[in-house]
Structure 1
């Protein structure tokens, strides 16, 4: 990532979040929105600094969808990404403006715990996996190999279980049950994506089939 692009990303993302949170809430004085924004920026900011130190190549890998990304994955992402993004404004519209949901404080706290767990796990996965890209493909030009260290010793797709924590955690941290609807849509499609990607890797990535026999679980140990 160029310096100019990195600066634009660092400025543009917080500004976009401001719009997604406070425009639907109808006020800039919505305190839960500021708490959420602060926690999110600190969490991802810390993760970004660690990744810049331990695995800086990840920024180039994740800068865009690369050539060879499967068409079915592009179709899934065309729904997953808007659904994931919709979690925040739907939650702000609910909890910040209309107050449809009455969520106890302990549920909000559990949302923050889930959100931070998602940031930590996805950061861990990216730290040990230089092939962690936004699109599904076989990275033959980068000599992709099986990664079986870190969280990949426990489940085969730790980045996806981390995303599920983030989807649902963001909705609850902002105090909204209604925001669980787009979170659930994104989660269902992400599970489909996990299954299809796993099938691709087992058939086309050397060594992955043997790895899948050693690490049996795709997302949740003991379940699936």
Structure 2
């Protein structure tokens, strides 16, 4: 794909993502006059755009891979089902945040907690950037990228844990609801841990059977998400 087409696709996907997220949040909130909601959308959109622009410069092949549809050839049925369920759950989570912090005020996050949430989001994106810098095969779907001659990555964060992408993504589920001022949104954290943990195990099975050297790597690197924990 040419660079202008890649940039155009990137802009379309970022705008569409922010528009859908904003629509769900503010429709659930019942009002556009929700400053914390705007701060959340602005921060999430800005971080996503900055990371994507950096990836456009650092690894355009990976950016192109990450802009592909969530359902692809070579992807297992279980991962297609997971991606569909993940999208629906994510939208329901945004609606819960909007209902809580925007419409009904069931809970309220203090100003310091909203600031902490912003720091968690920023730290999460920085960590994900580290993963992208290390692993050019960090696609959003589980499949063996034979056309890109995928190999096992065991440097950087992968020298410590097997799934740094997931580990760095989990703080988003802590930070996002805090930025928006919703404590009820934190209920997604255990669901995210369970769901992403299940996917990590299934992903390892797929990689061990289809990617040369992965089984040896998994024996060398014991921990999945956090050293000493799991």
How many Å separate the matches in 1 of 2:148 and 2:11? 27
Written as runs of structure 1 = structure 2, the 5 A alignment for 1:185-196 is: 185-196=191-202
**How many residues align structurally?**
224
**In the alignment, what sits opposite 2:55?**
51
1:15-54 C-alpha deviation (Å, 9 max, x unpaired): 2232122221122121111111221122112111111111
Does residue 156 of structure 1 match 2:162?
yes
TM superposition score normalised by structure 1 = 0.90
1:186-211 C-alpha deviation (Å, 9 max, x unpaired): 33111100111112222332111222
Ranges in structure 2 where 5+ consecutive residues have no aligned partner? none
Q: 1:182 to 1:83 in 2, by over 3 A?
A: farther
1:131-168 C-alpha deviation (Å, 9 max, x unpaired): 11121122223221001222222211111112211122
Written as runs of structure 1 = structure 2, the 5 A alignment for 1:64-213 is: 64=69, 65-213=71-219
Say what the alpha-carbon RMSD is for the aligned residues. 1.9
Residue pair 1:83, 1:182 contacting (<8 A) in 2 also: no
How many Å separate the matches in 1 of 2:218 and 2:14? 37
TM superposition score normalised by structure 2 = 0.88
**In the alignment, what sits opposite 2:38?**
34
Ranges in structure 1 where 5+ consecutive residues have no aligned partner? none
For residue 138 of structure 1, give the secondary structure of its aligned residue in structure 2: coil
**Shift in Å, 1:183:** 4.4
Residue pair 1:83, 1:185 contacting (<8 A) in 2 also: no
